[in-house]
Amino acid sequence: MSMLSWLFPKRAEPNKAGCTHRPESKEFTIKVLGVDCTFENAQACAHCLEQYLNQYSTLCAHCERPIFPGEPVEHAWEGAPHPYVHCTFKCGEGIFWVGTWGEGELIPIDATHDRVMEGGVLVIRPKQAA
């Protein structure tokens, strides 16, 4: 390591959330759209992840928990408080996938693969309840 690289370390490339920080801990809880969400081994620090998710997530009409960018969704029922539900048997039918939730918008089923592959998504996996 040269003296210059030691004095002026190269900044890490920002991830999809724009974060170049190291996460403070392996596990942390942040508030996303008013809901406490716990993450472990996240690709961003708590502050940057919280900003990113609050800007680009939406709420599930069934469970009222956030739908994060990159998650598959189904249309909610008519008159629902939010337009989409998680594409799971718990929240929806689990079989009527209409697309993937992108950064603040639906990526329709016919464009999902191309949009996700070209733009990439931040891998967001909340900690599973025990």
Extents of the domains making up the chain:
13-119
Which one has a higher pLDDT value, 84 or 3?
Answer: 84
Q: Tokens in use for 69?
A: 């960018």
The answer to pTM > 0.85 is no
Given this model, what pLDDT does residue 9 score? 44
Burial of 39 (0-12, 13-18, 19+ CB in 10 A): buried
**Rounded mean pLDDT, 107-130:** 61
Give 90-110 pLDDT, tens digit per residue.
898 767 888 889 889 998 877
Give 31-63 pLDDT, tens digit per residue.
999 999 998 878 788 888 899 999 999 999 999
Cβ atoms of 61 and 27 closer than 8 Å: no
Given this model, what pLDDT does residue 96 score? 82
Given this model, what pLDDT does residue 6 score? 41
